[in-house]
Amino acid sequence: KNEVEQSPQNLTAQEGEFITINCSYSVGISALHWLQQHPGGGIVSLFMLSSGKKKHGRLIATINIQEKHSSLHITASHPRDSAVYICAALYNTDKLIFGTGTRLQVFP
Partner 1 sequence: DAGVTQSPTHLIKTRGQQVTLRCSPKSGHDTVSWYQQALGQGPQFIFQYYEEEERQRGNFPDRFSGHQFPNYSSELNVNALLLGDSALYLCASSLYRNNQPQHFGDGTRLSIL
**Closest C-alpha to 23, from 6, 38, 35:** 6
List residues binding partner 1 (CB under 8 A): 2, 4, 30-31, 33, 35, 40-45, 48, 86, 88, 90, 93-101
38 or 76, CB closer to partner 1? 38
- Nearer to partner 1 by Cβ, of 6 and 62: the residue is 6
For the bound state, the minimum distance from the C-beta of residue 10 to partner 1, rounded and expressed in Å, comes to 11
Q: Output the smallest distance, CB 47 to partner 1, in A.
A: 8
Of the pair 60, 90, the CB lying nearest partner 1 is at: 90
Of the chain, the end-to-end C-alpha distance in Å amounts to: 37
CB atoms within 10 A of CB 73: 16
Dihedral sign computed on CA atoms, order 27, 55, 57, 15? positive
Nearer to partner 1, 42 or 108 (CB): 42
Question: How many other CB atoms sit within 10 Å of the CB of residue 107?
Answer: 11
